[in-house]
């Protein structure tokens, strides 16, 4: 199956005198064109695993194997926009002038609901709008893989729900592969094709979510059963 294969990944950090084992024996297939969610509590190693997978850091052992060519974009927990550039400037920041297809950029900015704010600067946007701008920047790069680290964590309940819907729509349109980090079980159930449950630096279980994404109703019994199963796996 095409995608990214993680084989026996290990990562340690030296903190003062101590060697901290952050990831141990991580084996995971991240399938192409699907949404894979890393779910686990704070400090279990989700961000570290995402950074290794995206090539921002090197593992101490193990291998990251790409089956196909790939172009990776990141969306971090904070928007990380350039304050001196407006929405348009931020969204097109990673692109060379000759790469900028103005119609495509306008479409992306419209998709994230910022078409009225193309010339606005980050300080003139709400936190949620800034995060949507960061997502537009990732999409404008036309990545085959998007690494998203709790991108909606700072948003209110309603905006978060809207953004999840938008992400599913964009995903259906672009067919990009997504690795998505969250500690929200409901968010994982809303978005994922596959959930990798992490605990203390290991992947404790993988749960496939077979339901068609657009029709997901988390109050449906099948989802409640799945949630119960995940809660048991997370042991709380
Ligand atoms: N650069 C670093 N140097 C030292 N320790 C680090 C470094 N990055 C992460 N760690 C440690 O690795 C562990 C896992 O951190 P990581 O950021 O991957 O967790 P996380 O699952 O993303 O948590 P959260 O949900 O709070 O973001 C933590 O104990 C953290 O202190
Ligand atoms: Mg993190």
Domain residue extents for the chain: 3-234
Distance CA 123, CA 87 (A): 11
Q: Which of 68-72, 191-195, 208-212, 214-218 has the highest mean pLDDT?
A: 191-195
* 129 φ/ψ angles, rounded to the nearest 5 degrees: -70, -40
Q: Which ligand is nearest to the CA of 13?
A: 1
CA of 97 to the centre of ligand 2 (A): 33
pLDDT for residue 153 is more than 70: yes
Instruction: Tokens for 128, please give them.
Output: 């949620």
Beta bridge partners of 23: 11
Q: Which of 48, 54, 60, 77 for mutating ligand 1's site (highest number of atoms within 8 Å of CB)?
A: 48
Average pLDDT over residues 166-172: 87
Structure-derived torsion over alpha carbons of residues 197, 201, 202, 207, reported in degrees to the nearest 10? 10
CA of 47 to the centre of ligand 1 (A): 7
Identify the pLDDT of residue 236: 58
pLDDT for residue 54 is more than 90: yes
Question: Whose C-alpha lies nearest to ligand 1, atom 27?
Answer: 42
Identify the pLDDT of residue 162: 84
Distance CA 104, CA 214 (A): 24
Supply the mean pLDDT for the chain: 91
Question: Whose C-alpha lies nearest to ligand 1, atom 29?
Answer: 43
- CA 79 to chain CA centroid, Å, is 13
Cα torsion angle, 126, 128, 133, 134, sign: positive
Identify the pLDDT of residue 200: 94
19 pocket-lining for ligand 1 (C-beta < 6 Å): no
User: What would the CATH number be for the domain defined by 3-234?
Assistant: 3.40.50.300
């Amino acid at each position: 199956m095409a995608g990214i294969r993680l084989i026996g990944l290990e990562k340690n950090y030296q903190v003062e005198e101590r060697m901290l084992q952050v990831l141990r024996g991580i084996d995971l297939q991240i399938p192409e064109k699907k949404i894979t969610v890393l779910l686990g509590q704070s400090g279990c190693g989700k961000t570290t695993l995402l950074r290794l997978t995206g090539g921002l850091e090197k593992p101490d052992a193990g291998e990251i194997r790409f089956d196909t060519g790939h172009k990776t974009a990141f969306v971090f927990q904070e928007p990380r926009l350039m304050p001196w550039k407006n929405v348009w400037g931020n969204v097109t920041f990673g692109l060379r002038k000759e790469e900028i297809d103005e119609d495509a950029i306008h479409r992306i900015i419209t998709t994230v609901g910022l078409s009225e704010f193309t010339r606005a600067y980050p300080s003139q946007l709400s936190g949620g709008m800034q995060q949507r701008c960061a997502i537009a920047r990732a999409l404008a790069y036309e990545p085959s893989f998007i690494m998203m680290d709790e991108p909606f964590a700072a948003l209110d309940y309603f905006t978060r729900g809207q953004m999840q819907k938008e992400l599913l729509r964009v995903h259906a349109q672009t067919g990009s592969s997504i690795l998505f980090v969250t500690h929200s079980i409901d968010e994982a159930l809303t978005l994922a094709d596959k959930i990798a449950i992490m605990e203390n630096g290991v992947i404790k279980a993988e749960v496939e979510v077979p339901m068609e994404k657009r029709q997901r109703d988390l109050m449906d019994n099948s989802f409640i059963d799945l949630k119960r199963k995940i809660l048991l796996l997370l042991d709380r």
